[in-house]
Amino acid sequence: MKTLLRCRRTRCYLQGEEQWTLDRALARDFGSGPQAIQFVMSRKMDGVELVLAFDDPQYDISLPLAGLGGNR
């Protein structure tokens, strides 16, 4: 399982500091939910969701991170 961040509007995954990709294989794996959430909070990101990504995408779990980025 990978822990990814995805833009809710574009459906792109975070790849680098300000880089996004549609290819989930290129997305940054945060390793854990708390690490991903800390990243979102420290950068005041809005409109992203945490994705617990499994080998088979049909089992992925998406969790909106509303309000963590400081913009409501």
Under the banding of pLDDT at 50, 70 and 90, the label for residue 17 is: confident
Higher pLDDT residue, 66 or 8? 8
The model's pTM is 0.89
Strand partners, 21: 13
Q: How confident is the model at residue 66 (pLDDT cuts 50, 70, 90)?
A: confident
HSE-up of 20 (CA within 13 Å, CB side)?
11
Q: Give the pLDDT band (50/70/90) at residue 70.
A: low
| Percentage of residues in the chain having pLDDT higher than 90 | 88
Rounded Cα distance, 7 and 53, in Å: 14
* Cα–Cα distance, 67 to 29 (Å, whole number): 22
Per-residue pLDDT averaged across 28-42, rounded?
Answer: 96
